[in-house]
Chains A and B, each alone.
Chain A
Amino acid sequence: MKKFNITDFSIKWGFLIVMGVLFTMFSILEPAFISAGNLFNILLSVCIFGTMALGETFVLITDGMDLSIGSTAALSVMISAYLMVVLELGGLITIFIVLGIGIAVGLLIGFLIVKVKIPDLLATLGMMFLVQGLQYIPSGGLSIGRGAVIKNGREAMGHFSEGFKYLGQGRILKVIPVPVLIMLGVAIIVYIILSKTKFGRIFYAIGGNPEAARLVGVNVNKYKVIAYASSSFIASLAGILLAARVGRGDVGSQGTLLMDAIGAALIGFAVLGARKPNPFGTIVGAIFIGMLMNGLTMLSMQYFWQDFIKGSVLVAALAFTFGISKKHG
């Protein structure tokens, strides 16, 4: 048995303990916090950006960064609405098209990074603007809902299919929100891919030392493209969930999705002392953000504190992870 070491212990469990303490505190101060309804509300509030964060994890693992996922999700919202409301397509075909567009965006980003050699931050920043702008074009900059008047003066007569809306609004057994289940499903799949399969090992290898990966025969560029395609694919899935939840295509729905998603993935570094992107940490990070916001709101925190608090948590988690554990490298 190794000797008990307080530093090692806090690196590994510190974050989860803080989370547990906060949870207990909120429950005591505001008993309504711990009601099943509220707990599902928390999960519901994080499932869009939590799902996106899972996609971002692929990119972060390969030592990249994808800044375009918020825009991609927002684009998916608009395309979903346009396809169903304006073009009056069915729900299923809409989902396929939207996911296809998501993959295409990711492939383009991958191409820009590995072939055109644009640094990842710049390539995805550029694509963020491009995709963000793209969402306005089909509808001429307007939100799309039933009855909306689109460009040519024609009234849009289609509607969101019920099945599609179920993805965002449905509840299994009238309790468990469908999008939360989808997020957890994505989390499990991502976890299996990253921790159990050779692909995960290769992604981590590329992040650790890309040249060494190349010299053991890995096609590094191919895997980088796959990482960006996965990230965009999952972002567009998150966009579908968002569109289904709202039931209309609002312009500019990216909001703070990007920052929340990246924040969740980065907070995930601190969970169990992983110090690297990991799907379990990402989900915990997302839930942590949601719990904190929910709890503080219940305790009458004013909305304008939100971003400040999220930022502080992120910085604290990162400082904790890297500051303490670097001496233990």
Chain B
Amino acid sequence: MNKEPIVEVKNIGMSFGATRALDDVDFNFYPGELLALVGANGAGKSTLIKIICGYHSGYEGQIIIDNKEVDLNSPKEAYDYGIQTVHQIINQGVIQTMTVAENLALEEMLSPDQPILYNYPAIRKRALEIASLMDLDYLDMDAPVFSIPQSDRQMISIARALASNPKLLILDEPTSSISEKEAERLFSTLLKLRDSGVSIVYVSHRLHEITRLADRVGVLRDGKVAGELVVPFSVQNIVHAMVGDIEQEPVKKEDVKVNKNVVKLELKDLVVQEGKPGLNLKIYEGEVLGLTGLIGAGKSELAAVLFGDVKPISGEMYINGELYEPENIGAAIKKGIFMVPEDRNNNAVFPDFSIRQNINMPFLDMFTNKAFVLNTRKERKEAKRMVKAMTVKCESEDSPILSLSGGNQQKVIVARWLMTQSNLVILDEPFQGVDVKSRSEIGQYLRKNIGKSTALVIATDLDEVIDISDRVIVFNHGVMVGEQEAGEIDKEKLIHLTSQTLEEILEPGLVGNVTKGVV
């Protein structure tokens, strides 16, 4: 690249208390280039981004924009230099109670040049222009944002960032909660932007996206630059730079230990969404079943029914041959149906609790005597066992859970449900925001310790499912459209099944196959 960099960062360092989050980091960002920033959780990606977008003012080192050293003290200053950021947490990027139009045109709406009297039609007109940048015209401009799906909220933040013609556009995990189709739309927009001369920084855990999009990959490890890769590169290269000397060990498909003679869980004509065909499925003893499909394919709906949170519309479920009709989540847990929910922070972590208290929470009765008094010693013993088994990196099982990195927090949450014997453990997007190393450790532990139980691993990312499943099933528009056993996994076919349109699925002839169930 012999162009002049648009933004340079030099010798950037940052500490939080005793933690050195970034140390002596250099990067150049060139116009017309897409730089992917990767690294395990806690490697310093977010910190670096927050410094560049003006959020952290106490950094060490220099930031040079257009050959001039600048001092970024607030997001507003970064913004004025043409640096735009789409942050990972979607709901921080939108105002939920405002309409889609207001969110799209937030910039204009809050600008001091606005007339005193609020001119909604003008805002709406501007919003439509912005919406067209990302082909978002299908959105109801007057709907409040809290009523639209997460993925659309994400698209709104991105469209808004694009609207101000940024010089440097930073996207932090932009695809973590949007479907593959939406991601495709985002990618084509990003590539167009890049070609028009914008410098793009793209942070993602999804390495396959990166191999498709990036011109250059910057790898951070423990707060330092661990390498820079230029096209062509492979996922293998990136992973290697990310985790250093730790060899990634994909789960071997040869050691499928499923006992097909014992049906652990059976679904008979189970309808979980109005108007969809019944689902027939058997999960066998010792099986790790992967369930994939886009957002909205009906995966979470099935999980909610299995976990007793929602009643099925019709159909039956059997555990070990016995009819299973959970009244509520508590009843499901008593029947040995457990769930690691998606979105760890909002749905699983007790932020004030220690690791021990987080692990033991569903099974307090195990540690309670007749007077309901908890036996802390027994609690510690169990928690310690799980922390060790799942290689949670921590000082002790009594450390606060928030002192752990994201990947280790997720290990604690998974440990919570693997501590006791179960009939089925549902893991809904268990690898969201989890680094490659933790992910593989969790996956391996699950496979090794599944024993006579079963697991249902739900993930939109095909790779996350393929890596650990004995069998993969695909949902699309609330229909089970396909099934592949380990050893016969055909990724192209899976992608095809995942991305079929509703019409293709419902084509006569095809429907017959589906409703009979491929089991």
Contact = CB atoms under 8 A, between A and B. Distances in A.
Contact of B361 (A197, A199, A201): A201
Contacts of A217: 328-330, 332-333, 362
A113 B365 CA distance: 28
B374 interface: yes
A192 B374 CA distance: 10
B333 A198 contact: no
Interface in A305-329: 328-329
A208 B351 contact: yes
A297 interface: no
Contact of B364 (A201, A209, A219, A276): A201
B357 A214 contact: no
A204 B353 contact: yes
Contact of A197 (B341, B348, B373): B373
Which residue, A192, A208, A216, A219, has most C-beta atoms of chain B within 10 A? A216
B255 interface: no
Which residue, A198, A219, A328, A329, has most C-beta atoms of chain B within 10 A? A198
A205 interface: yes
B91 to A, nearest CB: 14
B368 A198 contact: yes
Interface in B358-389: 361-362, 364-365, 367-368, 371-374
B368 A197 contact: yes
A154 interface: no
Contacts of B402: 329
A215 B341 contact: yes
A211 interface: yes
A281 B130 CA distance: 54
B352 A215 contact: no
A198 B17 CA distance: 35
Nearest to A212: B348
A117 interface: no
A192 B373 CA distance: 8
Nearest to A197: B372
B335 to A, nearest CB: 11
A3 B368 CA distance: 36
Interface string B313-345: 000000000000000111011000001010000
B350 interface: yes
A198 B475 CA distance: 40
A215 B353 contact: no
A215 B348 contact: yes
Contacts of B349: 209, 212
Interface string A9-47: 000000000000000000000000000000000000000
A215 B372 contact: no
A216 B357 CA distance: 12
Contacts of B353: 204-205, 208
A174 interface: no
A196 interface: yes
Which residue, A213, A215, A329, has most C-beta atoms of chain B within 10 A? A215
A295 B352 CA distance: 36
B372 A276 contact: no
Given A205-B361, A208-B353, A199 B329 contact: no
Nearest to B371: A197
A202 interface: yes
Contacts of B352: 204, 207-208, 276
B351 A198 contact: no
A201 B362 contact: no
Interface string A186-226: 00000010001111011011011101111111110000000
B347 A219 contact: no
A314 B114 CA distance: 42
A254 B72 CA distance: 54
Interface in B368-424: 368, 371-374, 402, 416
Contacts of B341: 215
Contacts of A214: 329
Contact of A198 (B347, B350, B365): B365
B346 A202 contact: no
Contacts of A211: 346-347
Contacts of A215: 329, 339, 341, 347-348
Contacts of A198: 364-365, 367-368, 372, 374
B374 A197 contact: yes
Nearest to B402: A329
Interface in B120-136: none
B432 to A, nearest CB: 15
Interface of A: 192, 196-199, 201-202, 204-205, 207-209, 211-219, 276, 328-329
Given A198-B368, A215-B339, A216-B361, 15 more contacts: A197-B374, A198-B372, A201-B357, A202-B364, A205-B353, A208-B350, A208-B351, A208-B352, A209-B349, A212-B347, A212-B349, A216-B329, A216-B333, A218-B330, A328-B17
21 contacts: A192-B373, A196-B374, A197-B373, A198-B372, A201-B361, A201-B364, A202-B364, A204-B352, A208-B350, A209-B349, A212-B348, A212-B349, A212-B350, A212-B361, A213-B361, A215-B329, A216-B329, A216-B362, A218-B330, A219-B330, A276-B352
